[in-house]
Chains A and B, each alone.
Chain A
């Protein structure tokens, strides 16, 4: 046999810790929300909100994305990951950094703990970027997907760098300008530069593949890449040098236009798909894109107005953050976990068993009923939390947080269930494990 190596999956020990820890942090995030409903009644710059935002963005979102990328990057680029050891070191530094950061924010420990956390996280981002660049360097040509991933990873490093400086600024004055100004830049470097660009790059590869959609117009992705990056660069530089001004709205429009180009690409994939039925993973994914419409509208409103003195706009900012982190990113990750994790385990455990492999298919590796309930509860939790914030009702928020916590518990059960296949004896794994 010759030349049949097409993908270069890293070992399970590289990828699984990210998935397990990410799932745990999601449950911790939902649990902490149960005790922090009072945090949504005022300004967004306060300890519990900062702790939960970073748990969501780093512990949940970025943790799972790191794991998925270490698996997918070699597949997309068709070369092996540069260093598995570096990926494992990234995990330990990042996980410890996130724990320190969340505790530091929650208990307002603005000295050494938050400084240590920010440095650990920054170093882990640096290692991640190095691994990504060194892996992509082995390829002959830079694909559009790789360009998205590299750009997103650079934005992530800049987010981490600014975040670390901000962490030091809390106890050692560094900035001559408002801390909140840098918070806006930091947040958008992370949300647009890291998450949005990365999601565009990875989703533009995976979603057409999952839907069996071909012949798509990739020029849309080039426009999406250019507009989003130009908008973000303009937003960050102009905000830094000139602070709030009318041009911010223009940069927001550019970024929104970039996202719309990406949307049209996904919509085209949906229209041209051969697989008509959407499974649980794709339902969550489509829900994520629907939820993204809310912060897109809000971003245009808050970029047009100065929100600090207006209680309605302050609530709009909270809704903006919630729909991005608890809505869009969470829904996407909840869904894509079912589209990636079972396959990662399956490739390692069952892919060379001939006819035997057909007995344990990836879609049978988790409790389907629990996944369906998870989707339902998630669909309830986000609107309820948003209503709670808008009407300033802690009771309503608590109900939403409760739904989200149960969602997280069900998700964790399924993640553990899927991963347990990697530990089981090959022959004892169940067929018909759907409940």
Chain B
């Protein structure tokens, strides 16, 4: 999540909610994998989330996107969701959080 601005409470709640979305192949949540590029909320446009995948054409892509939609709609049923899959910047291992690295035995 971008750290150069002040985040609303809802944005932090979204961030936490996304930790429930697991990449089923790797077994790590998408936040710790560094797949979430942007979380934004404002009253006019609702929630905007930009995510990527570890590899373009990932077979788990549909499942991950579907789950993001599911958990956000479940937690914020009255707020519209704009979910975008982006490929820039390309995902790299540098984006994995310390918790994710520990789960991958990278340390």
Contacts and interface: CB of A to CB of B under 8 A. Distances in A.
Given A7-B62, A76-B57, A355-B20, A277 B85 contact: no
B59 A354 contact: no
B66 to A, nearest CB: 5
A205 interface: yes
A375 interface: no
Nearest to B19: A355
A429 B90 CA distance: 36
Interface stretch (B2-10, B21-29, B35-43): B21-29
Interface residues of B, number: 34
A135 interface: no
Given A6-B53, A351-B62, A1 B85 contact: no
A204 to B, nearest CB: 12
Given A4-B65, A351-B62, A362 B93 contact: no
Interface string B53-93: 11101111111011101110010000001111100000011
A332 B55 CA distance: 22
B63 A351 contact: yes
Q: Which of B24, B61, B65 has the most CB of A within 10 A?
A: B24
A376 interface: no
B103 to A, nearest CB: 10
Interface stretch (A28-36, A59-67, A206-214, A245-253): A206-214
B67 A78 contact: no
Q: Which of A1, A76, A361 has the most CB of B within 10 A?
A: A1
A275 B60 contact: no
A425 B65 CA distance: 23
B69 A276 contact: no
Nearest to B75: A354
Contact of A72 (B53, B59, B63): B59
B105 interface: yes
Contacts of A358: 20, 22
A362 B25 contact: yes
Given A75-B58, A351-B62, A354-B20, 17 more contacts: A3-B84, A6-B62, A6-B85, A7-B57, A7-B60, A71-B59, A78-B57, A209-B55, A276-B106, A343-B25, A346-B24, A347-B60, A347-B62, A353-B70, A354-B71, A355-B71, A357-B67
